[in-house]
């Protein structure tokens, strides 16, 4: 069972539909006990960093998410859900993220010809070929919707980058934890393969 976490700040339907299309058993839950019983968990996210952090705390899932990650089972953060894995964001000064990894979420700088928010398809410069990216061709295109981006000093966890005025850390991977700034559930066959990779990790217990 893959748990899709409903904490009041996630776009759940498209994520659930994508996993079900792949034949995966999924459930939407805001129950900590159900989370702890699942093989894998997904944290989607839409809206602002501060609102999402507040919703996660009020839902009672903040500490269970940290406990789940510490327990070693596969965990995937999508878009704002990935950003929440880090320490802080320029979008919401003074608000702390989960702090699973070091890093700050920064606003995409205004630039000539660039529209903010960044909405559309960008190619990935892959750094790691395991985890979500196993079997994904180089420079594959995925779908982004965001105004803020990750830059982490822990460069070894960055599995792919993209360019949109600046270098954006587009996905991360470390042990059992994965993150995607883009939306794999909206990224066609490439995104479906990524979600299948995640489901396989949950089933087989390895990302290699």
Catalytic residue among 24, 79, 91, 118: 79
In the annotation, is 79 catalytic? yes
38 C-beta neighbours (distance < 10 Å), count? 21
- Asked whether the beta carbons of 198 and 176 are under 8 A apart, the reply is no
Active-site residue (options: 91, 118, 173, 183): 183
Calpha distance 18→26 (Å, rounded): 10
**Alpha-carbon gap, residue 158 to 164, rounded angstroms:** 17
183 as an active site residue: the answer is: yes
Nearest 5°: CA angle at 138, between 162 and 208?
105
| 151 is a catalytic site residue | no
Secondary structure (3-state) at 187: coil
Active centre residues (catalytic): 79, 183, 185
């Amino acid at each position: 069972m893959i748990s899709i976490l409903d904490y009041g700040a996630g776009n759940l339907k498209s994520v659930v539909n994508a996993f079900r299309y792949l034949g995966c058993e999924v459930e939407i839950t805001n129950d900590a006990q159900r989370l702890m019983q699942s093989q894998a968990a997904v944290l989607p996210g839409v809206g602002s960093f501060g609102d999402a952090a507040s919703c996660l705390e009020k839902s009672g899932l903040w500490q269970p998410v940290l406990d789940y990650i510490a327990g070693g089972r596969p965990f995937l953060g999508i878009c704002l859900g990935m950003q929440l894995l880090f320490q802080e964001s320029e979008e919401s000064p003074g608000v702390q993220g989960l702090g699973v990894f070091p890093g700050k979420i920064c606003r995409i700088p205004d630039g000539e010809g660039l529209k903010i928010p960044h909405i559309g398809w960008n190619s990935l410069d892959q750094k790691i070929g395991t985890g979500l990216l196993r079997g994904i061709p180089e420079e594959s295109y995925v779908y982004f919707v965001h105004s803020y981006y990750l830059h982490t000093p822990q460069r070894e966890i960055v599995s792919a980058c993209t360019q949109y005025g600046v270098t954006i850390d587009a996905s991360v991977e470390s042990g059992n934890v994965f993150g995607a700034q883009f939306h794999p559930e909206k990224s066609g066959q490439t995104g479906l393969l990524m979600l299948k990779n995640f489901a396989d990790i949950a089933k087989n217990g390895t990302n290699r």
